[in-house]
Amino acid sequence: MILALSHITKAFLEDIVIKDATFHIEDHERAALVGNNGAGKTTLFRIISGAMEPDSGDLVFAKDRTMGYLSQHTELLSDRTVFDEVMSIRRDLLDLEQGMRELERLISGAKGEELEALVKRHSAMQDRFDEENGYALESEVTGVLRGLGFTEREFGLPVQALSGGEKTRIALGKLLLLKPDLLLLDEPTNHLDINATAWLETYLQGYPGAVFIISHDRYFLDKLVSKVIDLTQGVCYSYSGNYTAFTGKKKAVWEAKLREYEKQQREIRRQEAIIERFRRYNTEEYYVKAKSREKLLSHMERIEKPTEEDNEMKLRLVPNVLSGNDVLSIRGLGKGFGSRTLFSDANIEIRRGERVAVIGDNGTGKSTLLKLIMGREEPDSGEIETGAKVFIGYFDQEHQTLSPEKTLFSEISDEYPLMNNTAIRNMLAAFLFTGDDVYKLVGDLSGGEQGRLSLAKIMLSDVNFLILDEPTNHLDMTSKEILENALVSYEGTLLYVSHDRYFINATATRIIELYHRKFLIYPGNYDYYLEKKDLMHALADQDMDRQEAGKKEGKELFLQKKAEEARKRKSENDIRKLEDEISAIEEKIRAIDDAFSRPENATDSKKLTELTQDRKNLSDLLDQKYLLWEQLV
């Protein structure tokens, strides 16, 4: 066991956030802490990390173990580049290597006993450097940065020029390289695209220590954790299994508690009826009996009624007008900014009733596609047409349709005057606005809260074609499930961009992936996409290679051209043989570079050392071959 909490409590003034946190984390365990927004998850992580003191209770962390904590918001002040900043987390190894170089300089001028002492010191430092796999550090940093979505072009960017999300990714990379015995990760996938999240998932599956995670990414939790700790109304409840197993077990526990509560209530009512009957007899004997039963009843340990499950709330979205079968037609669409092409010659057809998810790496143009459909951006080429009787509702992250001076309640009631108070409150509650929250001013809400309110308004509108950009951002798990159920039963058409793989899997009937400036179509949900994506990528790569070969002269074509000129002076067979050897060596180097970024190698120091040495040997051999080639041509 690496961590144990016993009856931890924490309050802020009169607001009791944590009443009883009691659980433990085993060595090498992967566990999740879940709960609604505001339940106290981050507060509990801060207590565990030592950043905050509990009001009472005991926390035990295993002796001689290390802990690393990734918070949601990271302030990273550094004048280093991205690569150097991540490398700096192993300052011990960098200093050790510098010390070895300094000793080597001294050894070159030493003699006798001084030389013997210096060599002995160098040998000890060398042994430690080898044990820590220092020679593979650069390769390991490269693999982690690539895995977290940084391109090699971005390795040299100054940290201060990056966004907050990119700085959080750097902090995560440093933490992974530090390899503490317990990783505390608060929403680690918030700033990762789908590919980077999948990489992190695989990396953490092979992580040598324990991992404790707060995350709203249910797909991520399903793939990774074997224990879920649910923080509900300030109390922690532990469940074995992944997130899906947890939801089933939690529901069963809730139903059992409700049965126990109802059984006790029936017994209380029965005893109260007997007491009332005894009192009506109005005799000494029955008066004593009534008092006796009253005393027993007063000492009964009352079972609290379990809180109603929020996800029992149902949202039903029914368009008032049925659209035609052809909802959206995109032909030959192209868009770029400056010299950068996002996509070209895109052809997409969407039919009534489809639920289409658009996925792809960050910055590839997914949100731009939605803006083009809405007319907020102009295409460079192609055309977009909507079908007959198509009415669009659009949700983005800018929330332009809200009135800052209105309350949340009036924001809804003014737009939908026929809705009664209960219906308005239920809709707002589904998006986490409860109690007096409904009387807050829209202008006082955070960006995330305004996003939830915008989404609630769109869900109530008469549109029959919903276009949503990251609709699950800032929603807790319960609200995501309410939204999923509403969209699955939605009788209109849905097009959305999302990084939430669980949400995509639950709602999508078709996936469109933006890959290398082209749209690839998958007729299924996210599981189907995973099954087919390697094949689709291979076909797309082949097609791109053919197009590139026809458009421009690459290195291979350049070498072929030089070979044609050389035929006049040298032996054609010798040159071709040498070029084949060069191509084979380059292919091996590319394979090694790809191996650096594989998750299974990122934590294998021995493998990284082997790959580093193999690449150096191949690079030396390639230099020799190129020198010979230059002589022949």
Averaged pLDDT, 299-315:
71
Q: Among the three residues 136, 162, 177, which one is the final residue of a domain in this structure?
A: 177
- In the predicted model, is pLDDT for residue 551 greater than 70? no
Q: Among the three residues 177, 211, 229, which one is the final residue of a domain in this structure?
A: 177
Is there a single domain that holds both residue 418 and residue 295? no
Please check whether residue 186 lies inside any domain of the structure: no
Query: For residue 140, what are its two tokens?
Result: 């390991």
Please check whether residue 39 lies inside any domain of the structure: no
- In the predicted model, is pLDDT for residue 555 greater than 60? no
Confidence (pLDDT) at 627: 78
- In the predicted model, is pLDDT for residue 312 greater than 80? no
- What share of the chain in percent tops pLDDT 90? 46
Query: For residue 90, what are its two tokens?
Result: 């192993």
Contacts of residue 576, Cβ cutoff 8 Å, sequence gap at least 6: 563
Averaged pLDDT, 58-69:
94
Q: Among the three residues 177, 205, 224, which one is the final residue of a domain in this structure?
A: 177
Please check whether residue 488 lies inside any domain of the structure: yes
Of the pLDDT bands very low, low, confident and very high (cuts 50, 70, 90), residue 202 is very high
Of the pLDDT bands very low, low, confident and very high (cuts 50, 70, 90), residue 572 is low
* Lowest-pLDDT choice from 110-124, 443-457, 567-581: 567-581
- In the predicted model, is pLDDT for residue 254 greater than 50? yes
Please check whether residue 427 lies inside any domain of the structure: yes
Is there a single domain that holds both residue 303 and residue 335? no
User: Which domain CATH number covers 484?
Assistant: 3.40.50.300
Is there a single domain that holds both residue 352 and residue 500? yes
Q: d(Cα 284, Cα 288) in Å, to the nearest integer?
A: 6
Confidence (pLDDT) at 313: 53
Is there a single domain that holds both residue 135 and residue 254? no
Is there a single domain that holds both residue 272 and residue 373? no
Could you count the other beta carbons within 10 Å of the beta carbon of residue 106? 13
- In the predicted model, is pLDDT for residue 557 greater than 70? no
Averaged pLDDT, 525-552:
84
Please say whether the beta carbons of 485 and 315 come within 8 A.
yes
Is there a single domain that holds both residue 582 and residue 519? no
* Lowest-pLDDT choice from 167-176, 261-270, 620-629: 620-629
Query: For residue 63, what are its two tokens?
Result: 């002796």
Is there a single domain that holds both residue 523 and residue 564? no
- What share of the chain in percent tops pLDDT 70? 93
Please check whether residue 208 lies inside any domain of the structure: no
For the chain, the average pLDDT equals 87
Per DSSP, helices labelled H in 108-213 are: 112-131, 137-147, 164-178, 194-205
Confidence (pLDDT) at 308: 62
Is there a single domain that holds both residue 576 and residue 484? no
Largest CA distance in the chain: 130
Q: How many helices (H) and strands (E) does the chain have?
A: 21, 18
Averaged pLDDT, 14-33:
94
- In the predicted model, is pLDDT for residue 10 greater than 70? yes
pLDDT tens for each residue of 333-350: 999 998 889 998 999 999
- In the predicted model, is pLDDT for residue 90 greater than 60? yes
Is there a single domain that holds both residue 90 and residue 162? yes
- In the predicted model, is pLDDT for residue 47 greater than 80? yes
Q: Which domain holds residue 281?
A: 248-307
Which of 70, 56, 91 is CA-nearest to residue 182? 70
- In the predicted model, is pLDDT for residue 569 greater than 60? no
Q: d(Cα 53, Cα 67) in Å, to the nearest integer?
A: 17
Confidence (pLDDT) at 610: 84
Confidence (pLDDT) at 311: 45
**Length, in residues, of the chain:** 633
Is there a single domain that holds both residue 346 and residue 473? yes
Please check whether residue 48 lies inside any domain of the structure: no
Please say whether the beta carbons of 25 and 182 come within 8 A.
yes
Confidence (pLDDT) at 30: 96
Output the pTM of the full model: 0.73
Q: d(Cα 531, Cα 473) in Å, to the nearest integer?
A: 26
Is there a single domain that holds both residue 533 and residue 627? no
Query: For residue 148, what are its two tokens?
Result: 């977290």
Please check whether residue 280 lies inside any domain of the structure: yes
Averaged pLDDT, 576-600:
83
- In the predicted model, is pLDDT for residue 130 greater than 80? yes
Is there a single domain that holds both residue 559 and residue 517? no
Please check whether residue 228 lies inside any domain of the structure: no
Q: d(Cα 621, Cα 628) in Å, to the nearest integer?
A: 11
Confidence (pLDDT) at 495: 96
Of 632 and 594, which is predicted with more confidence? Answer: 594
Confidence (pLDDT) at 362: 81
Using a CB cutoff of 8 Å and minimum separation of 24, what contacts does 488-491 make?
Answer: 488/355, 489/316, 489/317, 490/317, 490/355, 490/466, 491/317, 491/318, 491/319, 491/353
- In the predicted model, is pLDDT for residue 235 greater than 90? yes
* Number of structural domains the chain divides into: 4
Confidence (pLDDT) at 576: 76
